[in-house]
Amino acid sequence: MHKLLTITVTLLLAVAAQPARAGDPEYPVKTIPAALKENAHIVKRLDETTIRINDLTDMRVNRHYVITVLDEAGANAAMLVVPYSKLSEIHGISGSLYDAEGKQVKRLKQSDIKDLSAVDDGSLMTDDRLKAHQFYYNVYPYTVEYEVSERTYSTLSIPGWIPQSNIDCTVEQSILKVTTPADFILRFRSYLYNGEPVTTTDKDTKTYAWEVKQIKALKSELNAVEFYRRTPAVFLGTTDFELDKYKGNANSWKGLGTFFYQLNAGRDVLPDATKAKVHELTDGLHSREEKIKTLYRFMQRNNRYISIQLGIGGWQTFDAASVATKGYGDCKALSNYMMALLKEAGIKSNCVWVKAGENTHTIREDFPSSQFNHAILCVPGEKDTTWLECTDPYLPAGYLGGFTDNRPVLLLDEKDSKLVRTPVYGMDCNQQIRHINATVDSSGNIALNAVVVTSGLQQDDLRNAIHRLSREKQLEILRKGLGLSSYDIVDYNCKELETTIPAIEEMMKVKGNNYATVTGKRMFIYPNILARDGMKLEPDTSRQSDIRLNMAYRDIDSVEIILPVGYKPESVPTPVSLSSKFGNYNATVILKGNTVTYIRKMERQSGTFPAAEYPELVKFYGGIYRADRNRLVLVKE
């Protein structure tokens, strides 16, 4: 599904302008306004997209664009990549290269265009292809001009318009025009665009036009919201559409979900041998939960994920019998297969379309359209709902992880398709509890034993490392995360715990040199051994984006350090307590005899916060940064 979505969003390209004549100064860099060069790597001099929808199965997309590449960091923008498949065709490509003076250096030759398969490491079968071209010019600045025209045989997805392609891209002029039959209903949703489109109507057609000019670069901002919410953007859709002779309606999420359900209906029939296996595995089980877990483990152990993109394979699944026979499938096929296994066991489930990604938690809920790139399974119950990620062979049943958690998704049903929300893993789920016992000798060297239990979203990366990386790679990651300057890992082991929310227990022994600083009669020690937060935010009084904190979590550290004999305290850090709408932090140091006890508790909330509250976030993290580095000072008796 990933590739078809990429194709339809990228479905760029084609053109209206006449090719430049060799030697004519077309786009001299000196004519770019100075304000558009600030903080920019590329400047879109001109970007014209023309879309003509003739009917539900005939859409022409033409794009002509001119981009000036200011430096090496913007070089990727000069590459032309045009995907296509059986649902689309490319009618023409032309292009030119200009130097800084605006003089034509080279014209694109058709023989220079590469026609490549879109197969990647995760794809087994695909009829997706792409045409690609690059001028391979590195005398900066320079300008490229491309003209591309395409035709697609579906109106399920219409290319969106985001003139500013990234934060370091500026725009001189960008135009979008969409022409439809006069009685055609075009839906659109705009962000940060002033006013309505200019519309013109004649006897047979209606044209919508949007235009922006002089868009400056955006600042890179930590924890920013989605890019399309920070810059002018227009998203397009139709009410009725057609995809490879299948007709649908996208006026509501229910209508769109019904289309996808019908597109995949009847593909959940299992071979007799697989049906028999289902009953062998589940007939002796009495609880619904155990049946789900047993069949989920069976599916994970006997199948693997691999992308399949054939025909309308981006949206239509391979049938369950194929998965049962071949032992592989993409996200849709594996979810559909799991649904078929449950159905045979008498358990109803629903395939779910989702926009997956750890930093992608929203879709445009007020604009029904094909915004999805992944499929999972929902097993509704009377008291609870079980969610299944069918492409990961290591996840426990009922846990999704950060790839698909806490977001609106489209549940496909014969009569009641709708947007629902995947589980939210809150602070009580996403924890890291660390217990450390350490000894520091008179030279400042440290020896410690640590037991760390990490759960929920905090353990996602660690779980992947356990199953997918060698022990050497795991230790390499551990070394980078310890935060000690000079040390040896004497022993390290980890195990997955049998808990409702997945958790991993790590046990480690570490020895480090010069952990404490010894200067004359004094010894300086950080009681916080492994949990020093590295986030120190810079003040920003002109923050533009709202603040997005995706994951709520809690970290608790309990540290006991035995000090060398013959020292007494000169300075003990005072307790620190910080409270903010972004979270809470507490740290205490207690010294009894030659034993230091350090307790640290950090809680971070999730949510979206106004940009105006960024100074408070800076203050909160600044306080944590300082408190985490408080030192205990000892002096020889």
- What would the pLDDT profile of 431-453 be if each residue is shown by its tens digit? 999 999 999 999 999 999 999 99
Q: What pLDDT score was predicted for residue 276?
A: 98
Q: What pLDDT score was predicted for residue 5?
A: 39
For tokens 């013109």, the residue is 200
- Any alpha helices (H) in 483-570, and if so which ranges? none
Beta bridge partners of 515: none
- With contact defined as beta carbons under 8 Å apart, do 219 and 544 qualify? yes
- 195 confidence band (pLDDT: 50, 70, 90): very high
Strands 522-525 vs 307-309: parallel, antiparallel or unpaired: unpaired
Tokens of 492: 């390290």
Q: Look at the alpha carbons of 107, 110, 112, 114 in this order and tell me if their dihedral is positive or negative.
A: positive
CATH fold of 431-636:
Jelly Rolls (2.60.120)
Asked if pLDDT for residue 163 goes beyond 90, the answer is yes
Q: What pLDDT score was predicted for residue 12?
A: 37
pLDDT in tens, 203-214: 999 999 999 999
Cα–Cα distance measured from residue 623 to residue 577, given in angstroms and rounded to the nearest whole number: 9
The whole-number average pLDDT for the span 517-539 is 92
Q: What pLDDT score was predicted for residue 38?
A: 97
Cα–Cα distance measured from residue 613 to residue 582, given in angstroms and rounded to the nearest whole number: 10
What are the C-alpha distances in Å from 323 to residues 49, 271, 296, 310, 560?
41, 10, 14, 15, 54
- 533 confidence band (pLDDT: 50, 70, 90): confident
Matching CATH topology for 7-246 and 431-636? no
Taking the CA atoms of residue 613, residue 615, residue 619 and residue 625 in that order, the dihedral angle to the nearest 10 degrees is 110
Taking the CA atoms of residue 477, residue 478, residue 483 and residue 489 in that order, the dihedral angle to the nearest 10 degrees is -130
Tokens of 133: 């071209």
Residue ranges with strand state E in 127-273: 129-133, 142-152, 169-181, 186-191, 198-201, 205-215, 233-238, 240-243, 246-249
Contacts for 21 with CB less than 8 Å, ≥ 6 apart: 104
Chain CA centroid to CA 287, Å: 36
Cα–Cα distance measured from residue 376 to residue 393, given in angstroms and rounded to the nearest whole number: 13
Q: What pLDDT score was predicted for residue 121?
A: 47
| Least confident piece of the model among 144-148, 269-273, 470-474 | 470-474
Cα–Cα distance measured from residue 209 to residue 214, given in angstroms and rounded to the nearest whole number: 17
Q: Please report, rounded to a whole number, the percentage of residues in the chain having pLDDT higher than 90.
A: 86
29 DSSP 8-state letter: G
pTM (two decimals) = 0.90
pLDDT in tens, 359-382: 777 899 999 999 999 999 999 998
- With contact defined as beta carbons under 8 Å apart, do 519 and 393 qualify? no
Which of 231, 221, 166 lies closest to 614, judged by CA? Answer: 221
- Reported as half-sphere exposure (CB side, CA atoms, 13 A), residue 530 has a value of 32
For tokens 């932090």, the residue is 585
159 DSSP 8-state letter: -
Asked if pLDDT for residue 609 goes beyond 80, the answer is yes
Q: What pLDDT score was predicted for residue 310?
A: 53
Pick among 3.40.50.300, 3.30.420.40, 3.20.20.70, 2.60.40.3140: CATH of 7-246: 2.60.40.3140
Tokens of 50: 């023309």
529-554 burial, b at 16+ Cβ within 10 Å, e below that, comes to bbbebeeebeeeeebebbbbbbbbbb
Asked if pLDDT for residue 123 goes beyond 60, the answer is no
Contacts for 462 with CB less than 8 Å, ≥ 6 apart: 454, 494, 504, 506
The whole-number average pLDDT for the span 178-202 is 96
Q: What pLDDT score was predicted for residue 120?
A: 54
Strands 246-249 vs 205-215: parallel, antiparallel or unpaired: unpaired
Q: What pLDDT score was predicted for residue 490?
A: 95
Contacts for 266 with CB less than 8 Å, ≥ 6 apart: none
Query: How do the domains of the chain map onto residue ranges?
Result: 7-246, 252-421, 431-636
Cα–Cα distance measured from residue 535 to residue 523, given in angstroms and rounded to the nearest whole number: 27
pLDDT in tens, 44-53: 999 999 999 9
- 23 confidence band (pLDDT: 50, 70, 90): very low
Q: What pLDDT score was predicted for residue 309?
A: 61
- Any alpha helices (H) in 200-242, and if so which ranges? none
Cα–Cα distance measured from residue 353 to residue 635, given in angstroms and rounded to the nearest whole number: 63
Which of 57, 5, 412 lies closest to 244, judged by CA? Answer: 57
Which residue type, as a one-letter code, is found at position 10? T
Chain CA centroid to CA 24, Å: 44
The whole-number average pLDDT for the span 135-159 is 96
The whole-number average pLDDT for the span 482-494 is 88
Q: What pLDDT score was predicted for residue 129?
A: 86
The whole-number average pLDDT for the span 577-605 is 97
Asked if pLDDT for residue 632 goes beyond 60, the answer is yes
Cα–Cα distance measured from residue 209 to residue 159, given in angstroms and rounded to the nearest whole number: 14
Residue ranges with strand state E in 276-401: 304-305, 307-309, 328-329, 350-354, 374-380, 385-388
The whole-number average pLDDT for the span 315-343 is 96
User: In which element (H, E) is residue 231 found?
Assistant: none
pLDDT in tens, 56-114: 999 999 999 999 999 999 999 999 999 998 889 999 999 999 999 999 999 999 999 99
The whole-number average pLDDT for the span 546-569 is 95
- With contact defined as beta carbons under 8 Å apart, do 350 and 412 qualify? yes
Cis before 141 (ω within 30)? yes
Contacts for 399 with CB less than 8 Å, ≥ 6 apart: 387, 389, 501, 502
HEC sequence for 581-629: CCEEEEEEEEEECCEEEEEEEEEECCEEECHHHHHHHHHHHHHHHHHCC
Higher pLDDT, 128 or 5: 128
pLDDT in tens, 396-413: 999 999 999 999 999 999
Q: What's 252-421's CATH class?
A: alpha beta
Contacts for 59 with CB less than 8 Å, ≥ 6 apart: 51, 52, 53, 151, 152, 153, 154, 155, 158
Mean per-residue pLDDT of the chain: 92
Asked if pLDDT for residue 124 goes beyond 80, the answer is no
pLDDT in tens, 202-247: 999 999 999 999 999 999 999 999 998 999 999 999 999 999 889 9
Tokens of 411: 């549940």
Which residue type, as a one-letter code, is found at position 86? K
Cα–Cα distance measured from residue 2 to residue 85, given in angstroms and rounded to the nearest whole number: 13
Cα–Cα distance measured from residue 160 to residue 237, given in angstroms and rounded to the nearest whole number: 9
